Amino acid sequence: MSIFPDPASVKALALDLDGTALRPDTTMSGRTLRALKGCLDRGIAVILCTGRAIEAAEPFRLPLGAEGPMVYFNGAEVVDMPGGKVLHAVMLEREVVDFCVDLSRRTGVYYQVFFPGTPEYPRGKLMAERQSGETEMYRKHTGIQAVIGDLKEALAEPGITGCIKSMFLAEPEVQDALRPRLAERFGSRIYVARTLRTFLEVMAAGVSKGRGLALALEYRGLAPQGVIALGDEENDLPLFEAAGFSAAPANAKEKVREAADRVIGSNAEDGVAVFLEEFFGEK
C-alpha cells in the first residue's frame, strides 16, 4: 500500500459510480455532489471511470459539470465530454458474442449486448433477445431500455464488425458456472469481470478501467502519481493499479478493500464525500 500524498499534489480523481460515488439506490447525494464540485473548484479533475454507457452516466456528470476524457463501458470507450467524441474504442469480436448468444440460449441465462452507434442509434444500441425481469431491472438501474430482437441477426447486419461489450445478468453462483466455459473457449482473448452482484460483463482483451484511465490521463497530460482512484468492485482493481493511490468504500468486495491504500466509509454513508471533506480539510 502507498502512503497517501499531500492534498496539494492531487491532480485528479478516477471515480467509479455504482457502489462507490452512488448510494445503494443508485442516486448521488447532495453531499457527494458538493464534495466533488469542491474538487473541481480546486482544479482537480474528476474522471468518471464506470461500466455504464454514456447516457447512463450523464445524470451524474451533467450536474457535476465534469469535462474532458471519461472512461465508459469499463474502458471499452474513452470519450471526450461533453462533446461526445470517442477518443478510443475496443470492440468485442463477433465470434465471442455469437458464442455467448448460444450459451445464453442453452442455459436460459439472460444476456444483452451493446452495439456500436448507427444512424438510427447514434449512441449505440443495447439489445437482448427477450423481455424479462432482468430487462426491467437494468432499465431501472441505468435508464436504458433494451431493444428486443434476434442477436444473431443483429450481428449479421452490414457494417457490424464487433460490439462494445456484453453482459450476463444472473446470480453469482450462475456466473461462477459460466466463467470456466468462457475461459475454456476464449482464454486471454476476452476480459470477464463482475461489476455488480448480478452483472457479469464480457469485453475484449485489453479492455479495463485501468487501461481506460491511462489513456484518459495521457489525453489530459496528467501523471498517474497525482491520481486517487475510488472503486468497490472487481473491475476497479485495474483502476487502482493505474493510479498513484486508491480508496475503497467499506461496502467494497474484500479483495478490493485489501488492494486499496485506504478504506473509507460505505456508499450508504456518503463515504466518498466524507473522505474528500476530511482529506482536503473542508466541509
pLDDT digits (tens, 9 = 90+) for 26-78: 999 999 999 999 999 999 999 999 999 999 999 999 999 999 999 999 999 99
Identify the bridge partners of residue 267 per DSSP, sorted by sequence position: none
For the chain, the C-alpha Rg in angstroms (whole number) is 18
DSSP one-letter code for 49:
B
Q: Which residue has the cell 449512441?
A: 123
Give the architecture-level CATH label for domain 7-89+208-280: 3-Layer(aba) Sandwich (3.40)
Rounded CA-CA distance 158/194 in Å is 31
- Gap between the Cα atoms of 40 and 52, Å rounded: 22
- Block residue for cell numbers 451524474: 60
| Continuous H helices in 25-81 | 30-41, 54-64
Query: pLDDT (tens digit, 9 = 90+) per residue, 69-114?
Result: 999 999 999 999 999 999 999 999 999 999 999 999 999 999 999 9
Nearest to 87 by CA among 72, 67, 73, 69: 69
Cell of 2: 502507498
CATH topology assigned to domain 92-204: 3.30.1240
How far is 157 from 47, CA to CA, in rounded Å? 34
CB-CB contact of 211 with 217 (8 Å): no
| Amino acid residing at 45 | A
| Percentage, residues of the chain above pLDDT 70 | 98
Question: At 21, phi and psi to the nearest 5?
Answer: -80, -20
Instruction: Please report which confidence band the pLDDT of residue 119 belongs to, taking 50, 70 and 90 as the band edges.
Output: low
Query: What is the model's pTM?
Result: 0.92
- Partners of 115 in the beta sheet? 125
Question: Domain extents for the chain?
Answer: 7-89+208-280, 92-204
Helix ranges restricted to H, 156-236: 172-186, 209-220
Average pLDDT, whole number, for the chain?
A: 95
Q: What nine digits make up the cell of 270?
A: 456518503
pLDDT band at residue 123 using 50, 70 and 90 as cut-offs = confident
Distance CA 130, CA 144 (A): 15
Give the Å distances, CA to CA, from 186 to 121, 178, 276.
Answer: 29, 12, 41
263, three cell numbers: 478504506
